[in-house]
Structure 1
Amino acid sequence: MKKQEEFAQHSTEYNDGLISLTDLLSTLWHARRIIAGITVAFIALGLGSTLYLAKYKSEGFLQFGGAIPLSAEKMSKTRDFKETAAGIQLSDYKRYSESIGSRGRFDDFVQAVKLDNTHGIAGLRKNITSEKNLNAILVPIFPFTKLDAKDLMEQPKENSNNVIGLRISYDATTPEEAQRMVALLGRYTMDTIVYLIYTDSLRFKHLEITAKITKLDNDIIGSKEKLAEYGRRIKDLKQIVARYPKAEAQNTSQVVTVTDENARYLSPVTQLMSAEVEASTAEEAIYQAKREQQQYLLLRDYYDIAKATLDANKSGEAVLRALEACKERAFKTKDLNDELVKEVYNKITVDNQNSINLYLEKSRFIAGPSLPENRTTRLSTAVMASALLGLFLGCLIALGRQWWIANREQLAD
């Protein structure tokens, strides 16, 4: 009997600690106006924030039109430019990417192209200088992925998996701004790559060409010394031939043999002919070295002007388009009827045209930038999420209010 009373007492205490589902639903029903009000408020808040803070996402695919940077050495080793590995080597791309994400480089570009007051530039600067955001905005594209490599019969060769393009995406408050910013990002990316390429090239060309001019000086000096030696030898051989006129009748096909017992030499006439041929070769070497030296002197004048142009500009595209003007200034006082001068002039022209074709024409958007039609967050999704959040918080507030009313006297004691 005692045990039954204790069991009944414990059952009563346990039931008192449980929350009845009926009481819970009753509490929520009596607080339905509060819950509905909170839910409607959250729906309005979510809908308003979605409309006011709407984001539109534009995307574009920027391709690199060939092997970047443009290398004359690589082109000379292949029969056709298309045979070279297209795109940018990963090591070079990482270096370019670091510069693209630099705040100083971005500010220099904005000032160079006069976009300081353009709407959205401040937000773009903030995203570009954040490594996390930059990696999401600019995604490199490779010709082969890991899945592609598994399906291929042969593994990709070295340097054949370069970065061939970029997938560029950007969120903005209007579709037009998003599209404009993606286009600007493509232009900024190529401008930075071109600027770094010419920074590396033009800053070191002067020293390289000066070293080659000095080396050619030494080559000319050495060839002149050989020419003087051949001249002395020719003079002596002519005197020998004059003293021995019958030597011409001797066999001219003798070979040179030197032993301990005797020595046999070529006939003086044969040696005279060989010396004259060697002297002619030395004269030709001097002529070619002087000609090449004159070409390098012309190139140095051009690169000096180009380097000054680079120092005065912060835009790679502006530098590239100014190279033709630099060429005209360098050759303004030169005689273009001279074949040597004309050859250097034409070489610079071809290099500049190839660079403009590669960096500004072939490297372009082949898809996009797209003009987004829909927001990144749909209104229906925003309304549903706001309604669920408002309903949950409304129910939580109603239950908390009922618990406070039921336990406030105990809390007061």
Structure 2
Amino acid sequence: MDTFLGFQINNYPQNNNPVGTVDIQEIASVIWQSKRIILLIATIVTSLAVLFGWAISSYKSEGYFQMEMSFADFKRLQTAISAPARWQDFAKTLNKEQLATIREENFRSPRQLASLIEPIYPVTRSEMKDIPNTALKNEGADISGLKISYHAATPMLAQQGVLVLGDFLRDTVILLNYRDVVRKRYTDHRGFAQKFDNDAITARYDLEQLKIKKASMQSILREYPDSARLENRQPVTITDGNERFLSPVTQLVAIETDIADKGRDLPRIIRDQKINTINLRYYEQLQDFLNKSTSGNTFLASLPTIKKALNLNQEDEIDRSVYNNISIDDLKAHALYVEKTSFIASPLLPQKATPGLLKSGSLGLILGLIIGSGLALIRYFVSKPKILPSPQPAVELTIEKVIPNLI
């Protein structure tokens, strides 16, 4: 018992194991004593993890698809392949074996398709800093290709999925580009048809006016024969109005020259008009066929048939010229969409599955040990008797002691 300022203070004994402290040895002992139940729980969790890993494990194949485009065209392509009926239309061109190797739900979900296709940029952001000429940074296409990936249960199925997806992209791009090109060219040729018609009307009118002018000048020469002996370049002056004219012979020569020029212009206009008429007929048939097409690859393969349906005369130079130009366009399209728009190399044949049984089993073992140890510690501390905290030191006040000190 201590005394402080006249107070008698009784100190009761403290508890040597305060609440809130952790004894590592105690925890280790609990875990060691419960090692059998912990190992049992770890075994169960590891087995479940291995089974789950085996169920979700898949092989991932990747391929690099060469397809140059702007970023705006890439976003447009993403929208097109995500259209509800786009995959159904393309799936009609696949055989049963190809359809059996892929999961069609992957091609119907816009989010899933976006995860399978990634753009490849010709220059990365870090590489832009190393380019000395800033003008070169804006040259070329925004996107040089696409990285295509696909997951499947076997390596062959994963590789086949990448090939199908690449063909799906090419098929969609063909339809998108041709719909724009054919519509524009058909509209242009319709406008050219009216322009050439007006040009022909104007050329015929000008030619008729020149012929009338020529006849009038010949009449003047017959009526005034002496005018033919004037100097060709000597102007003739009319006194009343002070007008000055070239001699009738000189004017007649100029008129003949204009008639010759107009005579050459009119056949050229008629030739261009005939060429445009054939092209207009071709693009009209092309547009009608394209509106009914649901597959770009099928449409591309049908171009020679549509060209042949024009029934152009190969003995006629104009018909043969149009036929050759159409053939050149077909060759360019084949080179662009078949040879250039393709995989840079064959898609990878994966060797290992992800995440794999070893990885799943390791994670399951760690998780099982943690769960088992946690349950053992919870069980121990819940069943452990509660130790009440030691009472606080009490202060005993004695009136006899307090009053004299205060006085």
Instruction: Note whether the superposition's TM-score is higher than 0.5.
Output: yes
- Contact 1:144/1:161 (8 A) holds in 2: no
Structure 1 match to 2:285: 305
1:23-54 CA deviation, whole Å, 9 max, x = no partner? 21222122211110111112212222222321
- Contact 1:305/1:330 (8 A) holds in 2: no
Q: Say if 1:279 and 1:395 are closer, same or farther in 2 by CA, change over 3 A.
A: same
User: Of 108, 116, 120, which aligns to 1:141?
Assistant: 120
Q: Which amino acid aligns with 1:179?
A: Q
| 1:120-269 equivalence runs, <5 A | 120-126=102-108, 128-130=109-111, 133-155=112-134, 156=136, 158-253=138-233, 262-269=242-249
The TM-score with structure 2 as length reference comes to: 0.85
- Contact 2:171/2:297 (8 A) holds in 1: yes
User: CA RMSD for the aligned pairs?
Assistant: 2.7
Higher alpha-carbon deviation: 255-264 or 296-305: 255-264
Q: Say if 1:272 and 1:150 are closer, same or farther in 2 by CA, change over 3 A.
A: same
Q: Say if 1:171 and 1:326 are closer, same or farther in 2 by CA, change over 3 A.
A: same
Q: Residue 143 of structure 2: SS of its match in structure 1?
A: coil
Tell me the CA shift for residue 140 of structure 1: 1.4
Tell me the CA shift for residue 254 of structure 1: 5.0
CA distance in 2, matches of 1:257, 1:344: 55
Q: Residue 151 of structure 2: SS of its match in structure 1?
A: strand
Higher alpha-carbon deviation: 240-249 or 272-281: 240-249
User: Of 112, 115, 118, which aligns to 2:100?
Assistant: 118
Q: Say if 1:89 and 1:117 are closer, same or farther in 2 by CA, change over 3 A.
A: closer
Q: Say if 1:20 and 1:243 are closer, same or farther in 2 by CA, change over 3 A.
A: same
Q: Say if 1:399 and 1:354 are closer, same or farther in 2 by CA, change over 3 A.
A: same
Q: Residue 383 of structure 1: SS of its match in structure 2?
A: helix
Q: Say if 1:259 and 1:97 are closer, same or farther in 2 by CA, change over 3 A.
A: farther
- Contact 1:240/1:268 (8 A) holds in 2: yes
CA distance in 2, matches of 1:59, 1:257: 89
- Contact 1:42/1:390 (8 A) holds in 2: yes
Tell me the CA shift for residue 368 of structure 1: 3.0
Structure 2 match to 1:104: 85
The reply on whether 1:281 has 2:261 as its aligned counterpart is yes
Instruction: Extract unaligned runs of 5+ from structure 2.
Output: 3-8, 389-407
CA distance in 2, matches of 1:167, 1:258: 84
CA distance in 2, matches of 1:296, 1:226: 23
Q: Which amino acid aligns with 1:125?
A: F
Q: Which amino acid aligns with 2:24?
A: L
- Contact 1:57/1:372 (8 A) holds in 2: yes
- Contact 2:131/2:137 (8 A) holds in 1: no
Higher relative contact order (CA 8 A, sep 6+): 2
Q: Residue 367 of structure 1: SS of its match in structure 2?
A: coil
Instruction: Extract unaligned runs of 5+ from structure 1.
Output: 65-86
Tell me the CA shift for residue 157 of structure 1: 5.6
- Contact 2:101/2:161 (8 A) holds in 1: no
- Contact 1:59/1:368 (8 A) holds in 2: no
CA distance in 1, matches of 2:378, 2:240: 121
- Contact 2:101/2:160 (8 A) holds in 1: no
Q: How many residues align?
A: 379
User: Of 11, 26, 46, which aligns to 1:43?
Assistant: 46
- Contact 2:106/2:113 (8 A) holds in 1: no
- Contact 2:62/2:159 (8 A) holds in 1: yes
Tell me the CA shift for residue 148 of structure 1: 2.4
Higher alpha-carbon deviation: 40-49 or 320-329: 40-49
Structure 2 match to 1:76: none
CA distance in 2, matches of 1:177, 1:165: 23
Q: Which amino acid aligns with 1:270?
A: T
Structure 2 match to 1:22: 25
User: Percent identical across equivalent pairs?
Assistant: 29
1:224-276 CA deviation, whole Å, 9 max, x = no partner? 11111111111111112223334344333357999998332222222212222
User: Of 61, 69, 74, which aligns to 1:93?
Assistant: 74
1:320-342 CA deviation, whole Å, 9 max, x = no partner? 110110111122xx422111111
Tell me the CA shift for residue 110 of structure 1: 1.2
Q: Which amino acid aligns with 1:99?
A: A
CA distance in 2, matches of 1:359, 1:207: 24
The reply on whether 1:32 has 2:35 as its aligned counterpart is yes
The TM-score with structure 1 as length reference comes to: 0.84
